[in-house]
Amino acid sequence: MRTTMSRAELQLARGRLQPLFFRYALPGVVGMLFLALQSIADGFIVGRMIGATALAAVNIVTPVYALVTAVAIIIGVGTQAQMGIHMGSGNYIRAKVALHSGILGVTAFVIPATVFINLFADPIVVFLGANAELLPLSKAYIHGVMPLIFGVGGFLFCDYQLKALGHPRFAMIIMVFTIVLNIGLGVLFVLMGMGTFGVGLGLGLSFTIGMVASGSIIWWEVRHTPHLHEVRGPFSGQMLWRIAYNGSSEGLAEVSIAITMFLFNRTLMEYAGTDGVAAFTLINYILFVGVNVMFGVANGVIPIISYNFGAGRGSRILGISRLAIKSNLLIGAVLMAALWLFVKSIIGWFIPPTETHVIELAVGGAHIVALAFLFNGFNLFAASFFTAVDDAFLSLVVGALRGLVLLVICIFVLPHVWGVTGIWLATPVAEIGTMLIVFGLVKRWRKRHDASLLR
């Protein structure tokens, strides 16, 4: 039984809600913005400095990167939630067990995956759909990033644990440093003539350095937090299963990206050729930025919700949830308007004006895809909320609906009706369908938990 609370815990348990929301949500948004900036910077570097064909080649390889990082995110988010819930309830032994089990779990997966992908890189690229034009550029990128993919996975895991320990600002600072380093290395290596291999290598090196930096802070923080340092926390297979299950919806989002990008690429190659894949890549960069901003809000408040759920403070959970939902709705409306007004200028940052057909496809597609911003912020928060309160099943349902089930159905059905326009419609239609279902899920959850939420 605890007799004292750390400064971070006191803020989570008793701090004023609005300042607490901004303390966690703003670093989350900034961190996710810079994570999105990494993808945009890669697109700018590849599209502007190498060419539109290279941009499509890098996009072809993205599913491999997403599948590996998905596991790191599953374990990272699940560990973060379990640590928050158990620290909130005062059970520091279980919190320590969660941390150690998460570390060993992510290590046991990412290192073998790194070896496997590097051994079979060439056939993997062919399977993903690279044609003769894209094959050498795709292979070069995968050979650049994959030897260091363990660093990418480790960095993502550590980012979540810094937030769980009450240090969202440290997590933000390290994220910003890592992404800036990645951009600098990418430009340097391309100028050195290393092409797509250099872009991949810059990503792997920078994230590995970020992993070392954030891991060092976590080690120092645990040693200087008496409640955590003084207790033993051995590995637990049962805890690892709970972590993986509870974090599965966030990881499913990464897996879904890999699967749906594969399907989008295949479908666009059929309906619009290489130009269609390049246009989708540009739209995806823009969509990724908007989604990351809203995900930064949703994910940033998980430590607050988890801690207060463990402590039984339902009114604080509801207050933070309202702030997060309102923020994401406002952000979505602003992003949609900005995309309608400035999409052509934004696309012009990535490719030269001579790529007229790609630009035409991307502008038309972006105007349709922008509608998704009105709905996905609510869906993203719903998935994060259910993860934070340890309702893994509902979180998984939301993640599966918006990122995989409805989206895959739309990709297969809508292009047969509206052609390329149907491909662009797939994302907003899937988000609308998910939101309608989520309303029902939230209503059922509230009925089950009304007694605790009204305390």
pLDDT tens by residue, 174-183: 999 999 999 9
pLDDT tens by residue, 102-152: 999 999 988 888 888 888 878 888 888 777 778 888 888 888 888 888 898
- In a domain, residue 301? The reply is yes
pLDDT tens by residue, 9-23: 788 888 889 999 999
Judge whether residue 278 has pLDDT over 90: no
Judge whether residue 61 has pLDDT over 90: no
- In a domain, residue 80? The reply is yes
- pLDDT-above-70 percentage for the chain: 96
Judge whether residue 432 has pLDDT over 90: yes
- In a domain, residue 1? The reply is no
User: What is the pTM assigned to this prediction?
Assistant: 0.81
- pLDDT-above-90 percentage for the chain: 35
pLDDT band at residue 454 under the 50/70/90 scheme: very low
pLDDT band at residue 453 under the 50/70/90 scheme: low
Q: What is the count of structural domains for the chain?
A: 1
- DSSP string of 225-276, one letter each residue: -HHHHTS-----HHHHHHHHHHTHHHHHHHHHHHHHHHHHHHHHHHHTHHHH
Higher pLDDT, 130 or 195: 195
Residue range 78-98: mean pLDDT, rounded: 90
CA torsion sign, 437 to 164 to 180 to 210? negative
The reported pLDDT for the residue numbered 82 is: 92
The reported pLDDT for the residue numbered 128 is: 80
Q: How far apart are the first and last CA of the chain?
A: 23
The reported pLDDT for the residue numbered 3 is: 52
Higher pLDDT, 205 or 45: 205
- In a domain, residue 379? The reply is yes
- In a domain, residue 240? The reply is yes
- In a domain, residue 162? The reply is yes
Distances (CA, A) of 37 to 33, 97, 153, 364: 6, 34, 18, 23
The Cα–Cα gap between 130 and 263 comes to 13
**389 secondary structure, DSSP code:** T
The CA R_g of the chain, rounded to the nearest whole Å, is 21
In terms of residue numbers, what domain contains 166? 7-453
The reported pLDDT for the residue numbered 334 is: 92
Residue range 307-331: mean pLDDT, rounded: 90
Judge whether residue 7 has pLDDT over 80: no
The Cα–Cα gap between 299 and 366 comes to 25
Tokens of 140: 């070069």
Judge whether residue 59 has pLDDT over 90: no
Amino acid in position 184: G
The reported pLDDT for the residue numbered 450 is: 65
The reported pLDDT for the residue numbered 258 is: 67
Judge whether residue 370 has pLDDT over 60: yes
- In a domain, residue 2? The reply is no
- In a domain, residue 69? The reply is yes
Judge whether residue 451 has pLDDT over 70: no
Q: 151 Cβ partners below 8 Å, 6+ apart?
A: 204, 205, 207, 208, 209, 210, 211
Judge whether residue 398 has pLDDT over 70: yes
